[in-house]
Amino acid sequence: MKLIGKLVGGVFKLIALPFRLLFKTVALFTRLTAKVAFLPVRAGRATTRMLGLKGLLFGLLGLAIGLLFAPVPGRELREKLLAMLSGSGSVPDDELADKVSFELSHAPRTWHLEPQPEVSVLAGRVVLSGEVRGGDARDEFARVAAAVPGVIAVDNQLEVAVAGAEGGSE
């Protein structure tokens, strides 16, 4: 008789198992939903506290530090920005020469090519001079220089070096 009772109890437990799993899943989902539902309220309180006096003070402090460490005065930055936006202002030749030299020495297509060419600029026209090791390098330097904003034209005066004792070609 005990055996039959245990057997019937086991069958009921097996029948009840899916329902128990369902109820536990629903309970867990309900707890998680309640926590997630109140999360924006907590974040909202913290945000409004930071937008109060503390937020204002930290914002002003950050602005003051930024202005203190700015590389150039705001007036110069504003004038450059307005010139760029209007399209009428051109980049000064010395700045353009620096930009082109920087791009040639840092661009993925030309940073590894040695020697780097000499760069001079006259009225937005870039002149590349010097020696390079191959015709491909000569063309790459010209392409990268032409892609720099502010460059009107590129005069590629680079000369391909004659193969010496190293046994190179071209």
CA distances from 80 to 27, 86, 87, 147 (A): 62, 10, 11, 20
pLDDT over 90 at 126, yes or no: yes
Query: Average pLDDT for residues 74-92, to the nearest whole number?
Result: 69
pLDDT over 90 at 128, yes or no: yes
**Mind listing the pLDDT tens digit for each residue in 12-36?**
788 888 888 778 888 877 777 766 6
pLDDT over 60 at 129, yes or no: yes
Distance CA(82)–CA(112), nearest Å, equals 36
Of the pLDDT bands very low, low, confident and very high (cuts 50, 70, 90), residue 45 is: low
Q: What is the pLDDT of residue 63?
A: 77
Q: What is the pLDDT of residue 57?
A: 78
DSSP state of 152: -
Q: What is the pLDDT of residue 59?
A: 80
pLDDT over 70 at 161, yes or no: yes
Tokens of 124: 């937005």
Fold of the CATH domain 90-160: Histidine-containing Protein; Chain: A; (3.30.1340)
pLDDT over 80 at 89, yes or no: no
pLDDT over 90 at 155, yes or no: yes
Of the pLDDT bands very low, low, confident and very high (cuts 50, 70, 90), residue 133 is: confident
Distance CA(96)–CA(151), nearest Å, equals 8
**DSSP per-residue letters across 85-103:** HHS-----HHHHHHHHHHH
